[in-house]
Structure 1
C-alpha cells in the first residue's frame, strides 16, 4: 500500500474516531475511488471502490454501485446494499463518465466541496466511456489494486509534467476565474490496462473537446516550468539532407526525433489590446535521445539546422492546437487571463471572453537549444 494511501487511511481513522457517535473501522467502509455516471430517468449512477476491515482472510478492497436522483441518494443505496456506512472523506479519485462530463460537473464538485472532510487535493478524471465501465473492468483483473492503480496513473503523469495537476481545488478555481478554462485527464481501458489517453478540455464545467495526451504539454508549459518530459516530433528530411550520414530510402520524406526537455517555459503577452493580438513565447532546452535517421550533429551548422526544424514543428503543432481551441471556444492556456490583467475599466466576464476568444490573433515564437546530441542510429 502506498505511503499516500496509508496517510489517507490514518487520517480517516482519526476523523471517524472524533465523531459524536464513534464507529470502529469494522463498522465503516472507506471509499477511495468514486465514479459518477448519468443513468436513465435523470438518475445518477454511483460506483465506489472501498476498503472494509474486519473480514479475516479476505481482500479488504470491494466494489459497490448505487443509483438515485442525487449523489447522496446514490450513496445511501450503496449503504443499504452493504449494511454499513461508506465514508467519503478519504476519496482520492473522483471519476466521471463522459456523458456526465458533457452535461456539466460543477454541481457534483460543489457537493463534494461541501463535505466537511473532503480533501481539496482529491484527483479528478474523465472516463472515455462510463466511470462504472472503467472501474469494473479494472477491478476484474487479477493482481490489480484499483485503489492504487487509477490514482497512480494520474499522479505519475502529473509529476512527469505530461499533464497539469487536476484536483478538486484547482478545477473549481479555474472554473470560477474568467479568462481560463479547466482540463481533466481522460482514462481509457485498452488491452486489459487502464491508460491515460487524452486531455479533456472544458468550456466552463462542460466537456467541449479533447486533445491527444502528447499535446497536453503545450498547455502545461504556459502554467509551469517543465523539466524531464520526453517528447517526440516528426521532422522533414529535405532541410537536413546534407547532414545525413547515410542515404535514406528513396520514398522517405520525414523522420522522427525523441528528446528530453531539460527546461521548458512559456509566456503570453498582449501586444495589441485594441485588436486583441497576442505573442506567445515558448523556450526549450533539450537533450536528443533518439533519431530514426543518422543525422550528423557534431558541427554547429548541423545543430543549428536541427534546432530550427524542431522549432518549426513545435510552432506548427501549437498553431494547429490554437485553431482547435478557438473553434471549440475554450481557453485552457489562459489568454483571457492575460487580457484581464490589462483590462482596467471593468472586470472581465466569462461571456465577454467567449465572445472575443474565437477572433483573437496570435503570433508564436519557439526557441529550441540542443544541449546534448545523444546517439544516432
Structure 2
C-alpha cells in the first residue's frame, strides 16, 4: 500500500511538468470592446468596414467621466480586421464585455450569416448580446454619444435590454435567439432598428423582419407596436381613437394574444387570433364623465380599430412570405408527419385567412370619487 501511494505521488508530481502557465494580463493592460459595427465598404468593393467601440476604464462611473475610442478597419473578414486593429493599440483587446453587434442597414440587407456565425463561434463573445440594424450606418450609430450616457457605449444596450427604459416600440432580441431563428424551420428572425440623429439621440422604434440571412422589410412605428402586442404579454403601451370628434387615449395594463390554426377545410384554413386588453382611460378631451353605456361604446370602438390594424399587419407580413411570429413552428409542433408537415405549411401560408377578435376592457376612467 505504501509503495502504491509513493507511485501515485510521484506520478502527480511528474504530471505538473506538462502543465502550462496561463497568459494572464492585468486589467490595466486591457481595452474592452463594448460593441462592434459592420458596414459595407464604399471605397473598396468586396470588403467590409468594421467599427470597434472601446471603453477605457477610468475609475468611478458615477463621476460621469467616460472615455471611449472608436477604431474602424476595412477588411475582407472580421478576424482579419481584429488582427489589424491590434496593431493600432497598445493593449490587448478584450471582447468579454461586448454587449452587441450593430449591422449597418446596407450590410443587413445583403447577408449577416457570416458575422453572426462568428459571434457564436468565438469563445469570449456573449450569447446574450443584443444585435440590431443600424441606420444609416453602424459607424454613425456607434459614434453617437447621448448626453445621458454615463458609461461609454452603454446607452444603446440599456435601451435594447429594457433595463433602462421600457418602450412598446423596442423588440428585444438576443444573439443566441437570432442564431436559432436563422436555422429554425417555421420561424424567421427579427432585429430592432437603431437610428441616430444629428442631435446625438438614438431612436429605437422600428423592427426589421428578416428571412434566414438578410433584412427584407422594416416595419414602421405603429406596426412595430402591434407586432410587439402579438409577440409579448402585458405590453405597456397606449392606443388612441376619436369618438364623436373627441380624442380618447387608453394606457394598457394587461395584454394577451392567443391564436389557433384551423385546418378543418382544405383551401379554407384560417388563423384565429383572440386578443384581450385591460386598460385605463388616460386622456379625454371632453371633461364630462362617461356613463356605463357610453363606456361600452368606447370599448367597442377601440376593439374594432385595433382588430382592423392587427389584421392589416398580419396580411402585410404574409405578403412578404416571412413568418416572424412562428406560425409554421406551431403548425409543425401540432402535426405528426415530420416529412410533409412543413411542405404543407409552405403551401398553405400564402393563402391562409386571418380572423382577429379584440376585446378591450377599460377598468378605470381615472375619476376619483
TM-score (norm 2): 0.83
Distance 2:286 2:186 in 1: 45
1:152 equivalent in structure 2: 158
State the partner residue of 1:307.
299
Shift of 1:355: 4.7
Change (3 A) 1:126 1:29: same
1:334-345 matches, cutoff 5 A: 334-345=326-337
Matches within 5 A, 1:275-286: 275=267, 276-286=269-279
Give deviations 1:305-326, integer Å, cap 9, x for gaps.
0011001110111111112112
Q: Which segment drifts farther, 209-218 or 66-75?
A: 209-218
Partner of 1:259: 250
**Is the Cα–Cα contact under 8 Å of residues 268 and 335 in structure 1 kept in the other structure?**
no
- Asked whether the 8 Å contact 2:32–2:95 carries over to 1, the reply is yes
1:318-333 equivalence runs, <5 A: 318-333=310-325
Tell me by how many angstroms 1:260 deviates.
1.7
What are the superposed Cα offsets for residues 168-205 of structure 1, whole Å, 9 maximum, x if unpaired? 01112222222221211111112331111311111222
5+ residue gaps, structure 1: 1-17, 242-253
Change (3 A) 1:288 1:96: same
Q: Which residue of 2 aligns with 1:51?
A: 55
Partner of 2:85: 78
Contact 1:25-1:52 at 8 Å conserved across structures: no
> Any residues of structure 2 matched to 1:282-301 within 5 Å, and which?
282-291=275-284, 293-294=285-286, 296=288, 298-301=290-293
In the alignment of these two chains, the number of paired residues is: 340
1:92, 1:151 → 2: CA distance? Answer: 7
RMSD of aligned residue pairs (Cα, Å): 2.9
- For 1:20, the equivalent position in structure 2 comes to 22
Offset from partner CA, 1:109-134 (integer Å, 9 cap, x none) = 11101111221110111112110022
Aligned residue number for residue 128 of structure 1: 135
Match of 2:31 in 1: 29
Unpaired segments of 5 or more residues in structure 2?
1-19, 60-64
Aligned match of 1:6: none
Cα distance in structure 1, aligned partners of 2:170 and 2:279 = 19
Question: Matched residues in 1 for 2:327 and 2:288: separation?
Answer: 39
CA drift at 1:349: 7.8
2:237 counterpart SS class: strand
Residue of structure 1 equivalent to 2:214: 206
Shift of 1:222: 3.5
Rg larger in 1 or in 2?
2
